[in-house]
Chain A
Amino acid sequence: MKLYQPKSTAEALRVLASESGIVPVAGGTDLLVHWPTRPAEHDKSYLDLSGLDELRGVRWADHEVQLGALATYWDVIADRQAAAELPLLVQAARLVGAIQIQARGTWAGNIVNASPAADGVPVLMAYDATVVLQSVRGREEVPLAEFYTGYKQLRKAGDQLVVAIRVARTRYIVQRFHKVGSRRAQAIAKVGLAVTQSAMGWRVVVASMAPTVRRCPALERLLTSGAAVRAPDELLPAISQDTSPIDDIRSTAEYRHRALARVLLSALRGDERG
């Protein structure tokens, strides 16, 4: 195993540009799962970001909030402004795992790990978050909703590092998050849902329903049309257009379709629980 420990972001970018296949490490909560039984992973090159203090924390500005690449779930849970303005971030962070994971796991790590079942990604996408990428070639910003091109496929080159996540401070009329899992903490989502409505329109974002976390254009059009939805089944045609869930060890495609319909309807009705 080769380990790089840069002392600045500029150094980190030079390392990424110098060698292909280097894996950046923030909190390590994905990387180290069953680590001793995965010797092939031990032969790779790693870039330790933990010493880069400039990437830490949650920074509020007049019109936006920036999560640094090392901002953890706990950083957001402990941020009073986040609870007041962007409550879905706090709700999702509290369901990602318990404190042991919240204290280490990062929002940027959740994005680049690219799990279809990610908990942090749906709420960021429902808030129209932007991913800030940096490399020795310069800076690039990609809307999170356009960041995934397929299962575990990112619009990010090997020499680019996610240095921050930007979220605009927008007034929301509706903000809902729901996760269907086997238990509240430390469980991977069977279905994840984040819904927002603002002057920018509706955002319906789902997890564990497709190869990537994704927005649901058919559902968004349905909500924009203002059509009355009286029963969960009335959402199923749009859900079928937007999603392609699979049967796996956590759930089945059919359960996921039906659960999403019920959870979405209850979210739209403002129920606390789906």
Chain B
Amino acid sequence: MSGNSAFIIHHSAFAVDFTLNGSPISVDVDPADRLLDTLRYRLGLTGTKEGCGEGECGACTVYLDGLPVDSCLVPTYQVQGRRVETVESLAPRRLDPLLAQGATQCGACTPGVAMTSCWILDHPELLVTHTVRELLAGNLCRCTGYDGILDGIAAAMRVRP
């Protein structure tokens, strides 16, 4: 790292500090690293999957300051000082409604679907203006298991007011 009085310039690896799944963390990254790769290959959090690598499929969904984002499109340097949550932060019981409805087939989309689903469940106020389908539109399931996913969310809503 090199710095001067005006701004910080990085040419090579430098430390990015952020909150990951509730704990502060510091990780040395290259300026070109994507958050997805930092999570999977530097921090060993392989629950987050790479699907398309272009922001279409949502398999790599994590929360950044509480909102779902595609981690394949987030430069790691931009999470400096911010809050990141991955699928590993979800309590396993939160997947029960999805499992009970057979909402997983091959499982490749499941981590991302679980993240977006739990975000919807945690923010029922969104359903005043949005449908569950619209909020889930950024998560593709190529087994076309959408009905099971929607049934799982509906079942979870009945449990959680």
Chain A hits for B68, CB < 8 A: 99-100, 103
A11 touches B9 (CB 8 A): no
Instruction: Return the chain B residue nearest A32 by Cβ.
Output: B73
Chain B hits for A35, CB < 8 A: 32, 34, 53, 72
Interface string of A1-24 (1 = CB under 8 A from B): 111111100011011000000000
B53 touches A98 (CB 8 A): no
B54 touches A33 (CB 8 A): yes
A48 touches B67 (CB 8 A): no
For chain A, residues 26 to 59, give those with C-beta under 8 angstroms from any C-beta of chain B. 27-29, 31-37, 42, 46, 48, 50-51
B97 at the interface (CB under 8 A from A): no
A29 touches B73 (CB 8 A): yes
Q: How many residues of B contact A (CB 8 A)?
A: 38
Distance in Å: Cβ of B82 to nearest Cβ of chain A: 9
Contact pick for B55, options A7, A11, A101, CB 8 Å = A101
A3 touches B9 (CB 8 A): yes
B104 at the interface (CB under 8 A from A): no
Chain A hits for B55, CB < 8 A: 29, 32-33, 97, 100-101, 186
Main secondary structure of the interface of A (DSSP, over half): mixed
**CB contact under 8 A between A101 and B134, given known A7-B7, A32-B73, A42-B32:** no
A100 touches B31 (CB 8 A): no
Distance in Å: Cβ of A258 to nearest Cβ of chain B: 27
**CB contact under 8 A between A186 and B137, given known A3-B31, A28-B75, A48-B77:** yes
Interface string of A211-252 (1 = CB under 8 A from B): 000000000000000000000000000000000000000000
Interface string of B51-76 (1 = CB under 8 A from A): 00111101001001001111011110
**CB contact under 8 A between A5 and B7, given known A32-B34, A33-B54, A99-B68:** yes
Distance in Å: Cβ of B9 to nearest Cβ of chain A: 6
Interface string of A86-129 (1 = CB under 8 A from B): 00000000100111110110000000000000000000000000
- Measured between alpha carbons, how far is A27 from B69 in the docked complex, in Å? 10
**CB contact under 8 A between A3 and B77, given known A98-B137, A104-B69, A186-B138:** yes
A97 touches B31 (CB 8 A): no
Distance in Å: Cβ of B99 to nearest Cβ of chain A: 23
A28 touches B137 (CB 8 A): no
Instruction: Return the chain B residue nearest A18 by Cβ.
Output: B6
- Measured between alpha carbons, how far is A15 from B11 in the docked complex, in Å? 15
B74 touches A104 (CB 8 A): yes
A142 at the interface (CB under 8 A from B): no
B6 touches A14 (CB 8 A): yes
A74 at the interface (CB under 8 A from B): yes
Chain B hits for A104, CB < 8 A: 64, 69-70, 73-74
B74 touches A103 (CB 8 A): no
A152 at the interface (CB under 8 A from B): no
A99 touches B34 (CB 8 A): no
Instruction: Return the chain A residue nearest B79 by Cβ.
Output: A50
Instruction: Return the chain B residue nearest A51 by Cβ.
Output: B80
Chain A hits for B91, CB < 8 A: none
A25 at the interface (CB under 8 A from B): yes
A100 touches B61 (CB 8 A): yes
B143 at the interface (CB under 8 A from A): no
Distance in Å: Cβ of A35 to nearest Cβ of chain B: 6
- Measured between alpha carbons, how far is A99 from B72 in the docked complex, in Å? 14
Chain A hits for B61, CB < 8 A: 100
A6 touches B74 (CB 8 A): no
**CB contact under 8 A between A48 and B70, given known A2-B11, A3-B10, A33-B55:** no
A28 touches B11 (CB 8 A): no
Contact pick for B73, options A2, A3, A28, CB 8 Å = A28
Distance in Å: Cβ of A128 to nearest Cβ of chain B: 26
Residues of chain A at the chain B interface (Cβ within 8 Å)? 1-7, 11-12, 14-15, 25, 27-29, 31-37, 42, 46, 48, 50-51, 74, 77, 83, 94, 97-101, 103-104, 183-186
Residues of chain B at the chain A interface (Cβ within 8 Å)? 6-11, 30-32, 34, 37, 53-56, 58, 61, 64, 67-70, 72-75, 77-78, 80, 116, 119, 129, 134-139
